[in-house]
Amino acid sequence: MALLNNTTYNPKYFFKNKHFNTAYRTFFHDFNIDYHRKRIETKDGDFLDLDFSTKDSPNITIIIHGLEGSSNSSYVKSLTKVLNEQLIDVVAINLKGCSGEPNRLLSSYHSGKTDDLEEIIDYIKSNYNYKNIHVVGFSLGGNITLKYLGENGLSLISKVQSAVTVSVPCDLKGSSESLTKFSNKIYMQRFLISLKKKTLDKLNKFPNSFLTKEKIENAKSFF
């Protein structure tokens, strides 16, 4: 992957620290977005909750959150606010199991699950009259976005006009290993708290699955 060595980007002092840069928005900013929710049924018998924030625009941006995020993640609400100020409609996706209500199936979402994004785009195309559809994916949502673009290629011309991805862990194995390092363990633990709770809920709902309580509770990393 190409690296930009010569750049004019010059962050203020505290933002030169990667951890401060990562945590700042979460701890110091919050925006009250007036979402209205639409639940759509998916082909696999599950559902997706879509949160719209609209300005009667001919353009809409689909925002996909990262691992264990949601439409209420600070970075999603921040971008929604900026786009709404530019009179652009937004639909913030809640990936399966991330809307505050467990999804119906044993499986939920992952970095390569692009069929849900495809169903959302087709739903918007079929039920709304937007001239342009754009996609922004953060982290895991960026993986989904890029994989979807690669799978569909030129056939997307009639569906999606642009896409942007932010902080994408393209090398999933390397990114997972990086989160096990001492300086990054706080991020790993934050993910695991949420993931373990959801997985234990799955175990209660699907007691005959491959999941075991002991393995879930003893997990120390994504592996």
pLDDT of 2 reads 63
The strand pairing partners of 53, in sequence order, are 90
- The answer to whether residues 163 and 134 touch, using CB atoms and an 8 Å cutoff, is yes
Give the burial string for 119-158 (b: 16+ CB within 10 Å, else e).
bbbebbeeeeebeebbbbbbbbbbbbbbbbbeeeeeebee
3-state secondary structure of 203: helix
13, exposed or middle or buried, with CB in 10 Å at 0-12, 13-18, 19+?
Answer: exposed
- The answer to whether residues 97 and 108 touch, using CB atoms and an 8 Å cutoff, is yes
First to last CA, the chain: 24
- The answer to whether residues 91 and 80 touch, using CB atoms and an 8 Å cutoff, is no
Q: For residue 220, what are its two tokens?
A: 């120390």
3-state secondary structure of 50: strand
How many CA atoms lie within 13 Å of 100's alpha carbon, on the beta-carbon side?
8
The Cα–Cα gap between 148 and 141 comes to 11
Q: Where is 132: in which H helix or E strand? A: strand 132-138
CA distances from 141 to 15, 67, 145 (A): 24, 8, 6
Alpha helices in 86-184 (DSSP H): 115-127, 140-152, 172-178
Beta-sheet pairing, 36-41 with 162-166: unpaired
In the chain (223 residues long), the average pLDDT of successive 10-residue segments reads 76 80 72 94 97 97 97 95 97 97 95 96 96 97 97 89 94 85 82 94 90 90 85
- What is the pTM for the complete model shown? 0.90
pLDDT of 5 reads 78
pLDDT of 18 reads 78
